[in-house]
Chain A
Amino acid sequence: MKVLIPGPLLSYTKKREVEATGATLAELLADLDRQYPGLRFRMIDEQDKMRRHIRFFINGEQEFDMTRALQPTDSLQIVQALSGG
């Protein structure tokens, strides 16, 4: 499925839009990490929690559940939430 990458993570993917697969959001992030090593840990901490300023939108709707089932036709947008300073 299509994944839209935010600016702070372009150093990993080198492009704004990439393809990844997974039956759930967690599996999709694991596939992204296989393709772009280190990317997942910048978004998800060692306790599998979403980092404070990272948000996921599936087909335009915000999703917090990592077990959310995905279809190949879905799209994921990774967003950097506002962080001041």
Chain B
Amino acid sequence: MARIARKPTAKTQAQGLRAKRGPRPAGRVAILVATRKGAWLYHGDAARKTWRVDGPHFLGHIVSHLVLDPRDGRTLLAATKTGHLGPTVFRSTDLGRNWKETARPPAFARVAGSEKGRAVDHTFWLTPAHANEPNVWYAGTSPQGLFRSEDGGVTWEPFSSVNDDPQYRTWMGTVQDGTPDGPKMHSIIVDPRDPKHLYFGMSGGGVHESVNGGRTWTPILKGLEVVEGFDASTPSFHDPHCIRMCPSNPDRLYQQNHCGIYRLDRPADTWLRIGKSMPKRVGDIGFPMVLHPSDADTAWVFPMDGSTVWPRVSVEGVPCAYVTRNGGKSWQRLDSGLPRSQAWWTVKRQAMTADAHDPVGLYFGTTSGELWMSREEGNRWACIARHLPEIYAVETAELR
């Protein structure tokens, strides 16, 4: 019987790639969901089919990010504030059974007798540092500030090289120059090969790199586009939404930007706009950027309507993810199981992620409070939870 050659689909490509890759961790997955009104943990079974809900934690608190320390597998940090109270960070060393407030939350240096001193409105981003630096964490704030903790998040110190540097302060602009709920420091990335090699993104303010642990920083902007009419050589006009480093190839970065989807292969310093191969009707605007844990050619995005007045909803009210399996040369739509019409939500920059299983599980939370996942690398989506508050961040944790 003759074999019929079929054009590979996203699903068969995923199966083929799975066969080529080695085994990956098979611990149980917990989904860490941070929302505008609290945090929830969803504990999965071994097959990632059923999810036990644990929450709310911090009911009524604005939780921007909830992250597990992969180095000890049990310490959680939560970046919170409330409508009335100032920002802080809570810490749990028993997976959220008990929480204790940090003794010294991220705060800018005091500038006595001056109006120039800034105040942290909220801690927006949390990144555990290098595997060889236990208890070290980085935090990014709104307005833009970079902070470091060396005691597991109990106390935080500002990076003066960014927060107080006159050039960087100029590039950050004012609180009126940023995103609707404040300009942000985000996408703090630590090179797994070198704890002193760091990246971060600022909305606005561009993408920056340090090779000396944060003593000095250099913008990496070549190839990135800015809104028409502005000078692309000025970091202030750059708005990276989310930058990720490939776990399987730390020389490769992907970026979802205000002006498209990009890839950068170091040591080159010019970003390539890989979003140009997205369908024109969908465009390449969005917020999240998710990378495959072991295949540097595979990445996912969640397109958003960034036209006219920037509605920040799904394109035409029909949500979908897109995947590339060739480093951005081409993209395939992944919308099976998602609403087919009248779904006017979208996904924020921290609200989509992947686990390390095989096949990779994908997870995203919506601005309308729904939590979705796919056990098949996006080929089929299922809703895990509805009626949550607006979801700000979704992370996964492999529980040992």
Chain A positions within 8 Å of B, measured between CB atoms, are 6, 8-9, 37-38, 41-49, 51, 53-54, 80-81, 83-85
Contact = CB atoms under 8 A, between A and B. Distances in A.
Nearest to A47: B117
Contact of A41 (B82, B107, B108, B109): B107
Interface string B89-132: 00000000000011101011111000001111000000000000
B88 interface: yes
Interface of B: 82-86, 88, 101-103, 105, 107-111, 117-120
B83 A83 contact: yes
B144 to A, nearest CB: 15
A85 B86 contact: no
Given A46-B108, A53-B83, A38 B88 contact: yes
Contact of B88 (A9, A42, A80, A85): A42
Contact of B85 (A8, A46, A47, A49): A8
A11 to B, nearest CB: 9
Given A46-B108, A47-B110, A85-B83, A41 B88 contact: yes
A80 B85 CA distance: 8
Greatest chain B CB density within 10 A among A6, A47, A83 is at A47
A46 B116 CA distance: 12
Given A48-B110, A49-B119, A43 B103 contact: no
A46 B141 CA distance: 14
B85 A43 contact: yes
Contacts of A51: 84-86
Contact of B86 (A6, A37, A45, A81): A45
Nearest to A38: B101
Given A38-B101, A38-B103, A47 B86 contact: no
